[in-house]
Amino acid sequence: MNRLALCLSRAIARVTEAALGPYQTAVVRIGFAATWLLFLLREYPHRQELYGPDGPWSFDLAQQLTADNHAFTALLASDNQAYFEVFYFVAVVAGALLLVGWRTRATSLLFMVGVLSLQNRSVFVGDGGDNVLHLMSFYLVFTRCGQVWSLDARRAARASAARARGERVAPDRAGPALWAVSGLVLLVAALTGRTGGGWLVPAVLWATWAGAALWWAAGRWARTPEPRILLDVVANILHNGALFVIMAEACLIYATAGWYKIQGSRWQDGTAVYYPLHLDYFSPWPALADLLSANGTLVMLVTYGTVIVQVAFPFTLFNRRVKNVLLAAMMTEHAVIAVVLGLPFFSLAMIAADSVFLPTSFLQRLGGWAARARDRVFRRTDPELPVQRFPEADERPRVGFGA
């Protein structure tokens, strides 16, 4: 009984004391922000046909559908062309800001609003990658995904170093200004009845807005550290819960895909991979598709291998070495799909989801290589710049509620 209580107390302490997987959530943030940003930029010439008020899926049809399914989309607040153009531009900016990790708490909310609004405006133009992005944009709101590899982390590190030197740190003005503007927008949307349909997303927006106010007030006026510690514990619990959901979602995607494939006759006889290679819609490189499908043994191995990897992956999470091997195989498969079948954004979304399982040691080495490459580039342009050392996991600064 004592051993059980000890294990339970350790588990509770682990969940509440720190936000787990800082590097994993950072790479998931970067991956999905980059996927969405690249998609919006590539489809910019076609934005009217996809999501505009004069597209094939008309404004009235979208209103009727969202009235039935209560899907959130801010694009139905107005059918004005200028409003759509401004919203599309804001969605692009939100993706870029989340990518670099600037005010990740606010930009993750703006990113979620952009993804849900555009995708729910025209629900029939998406694919499996859009569905993954749709879900992950919501989960990212609850994570502290700016702890590392972000402008938030760099700002927190500089402030911490300044305090250690005894210097005065200038008060944050951008955060309160961003909070005031977002609150005004939410208030106007609520008073005009243009909350986008449904109650869940507006409730999340208001709850996060109120949480940011509590965090700021606790840091400014609380006489003891207990209120800030309590809010930190709540943020850690939300982060760790969201991280678990992201991992479970990825496992569920692969498990269901693998078990559904098993039931298909083409997957059972080992020929399923052959057919999409010869569809015009999925053949940007016909010569490459013909080369890959010419070998029947290769087609059979890829077909069976895909099913085996997808079904087995959730069960390999208890064995780190096997999990890493299958993870590399799945990422390689998605990279091949991006090139051979012409589905780059689907593949990027799946690789970003897979990244949550990458080992922390590998991500730390990857960050170190990137930091050294950055230093070399900047030192070539300015030899006087000092070399910056990449912080290890136990050296990273603690960032606040906004990260």
| Token pair of 139 as six digits | 């989960």
Contact assessment for residue 203 and residue 243, using Cβ atoms and an 8 Å cutoff: no
Catalogue the long-range contacts made by 245-248 (C-beta closer than 8 Å, 24 or more residues apart). Answer: 245/139, 246/28, 246/136, 246/139, 246/143, 246/353, 246/356, 247/356, 247/357
- 3-state DSSP helix/strand/coil percent for the chain, to nearest 5? 75, 0, 25
Q: How confident is the model at residue 106 (pLDDT cuts 50, 70, 90)?
A: very high
Question: Residue 209: which residues within 8 A CB-CB, separation 6 or more?
Answer: 179, 182, 183, 186
For residue range 64-73, list pLDDT tens digits in order: 999 888 899 9
pLDDT at 394 (0 to 100) = 42
SS3 93: helix
CA dihedral 196, 111, 351, 134 (to 10 degrees): 0
- Tell me, what DSSP letter sits at residue 396? P
Query: What spatial distance separates the first Cα and last Cα of the chain, rounded to whole Å?
Result: 39
pLDDT, average across residues 111-129:
91
pTM for the full predicted model: 0.91
pLDDT at 143 (0 to 100) = 96
Burial, 317: exposed, middle or buried (Cβ in 10 Å; 0-12, 13-18, 19+)? middle
Q: How confident is the model at residue 401 (pLDDT cuts 50, 70, 90)?
A: very low
pLDDT at 157 (0 to 100) = 92
For residue range 148-189, list pLDDT tens digits in order: 999 999 999 999 999 888 888 888 888 899 999 999 999 999
- Report the range out of 99-103, 187-191, 289-293 with the highest average pLDDT: 99-103
pLDDT at 371 (0 to 100) = 84
For residue range 210-265, list pLDDT tens digits in order: 999 999 888 888 888 888 899 999 999 999 999 999 999 999 999 999 999 999 99
Q: Does position 399 have pLDDT exceeding 50, yes or no?
A: no
DSSP 118-142: HHHHSGGG--HHHHHHHHHHHHHTT
For residue range 31-62, list pLDDT tens digits in order: 999 999 999 999 999 999 999 988 889 999 99
Amino acid identity, residue 162? A
Q: Which residue has the higher pLDDT, 380 or 248?
A: 248
Q: Does position 398 have pLDDT exceeding 70, yes or no?
A: no
d(CA 181, CA 366): 37
pLDDT at 390 (0 to 100) = 45
pLDDT, average across residues 123-136:
88
Mean pLDDT for the chain overall:
89
pLDDT at 67 (0 to 100) = 87
Q: How confident is the model at residue 400 (pLDDT cuts 50, 70, 90)?
A: very low
Question: Residue 11: which residues within 8 A CB-CB, separation 6 or more?
Answer: none
Q: Among 85-89, 265-269, 289-293, 395-399, which stretch is predicted with the lowest mean pLDDT?
A: 395-399
pLDDT at 55 (0 to 100) = 85
d(CA 202, CA 70): 12
Q: Does position 2 have pLDDT exceeding 90, yes or no?
A: no
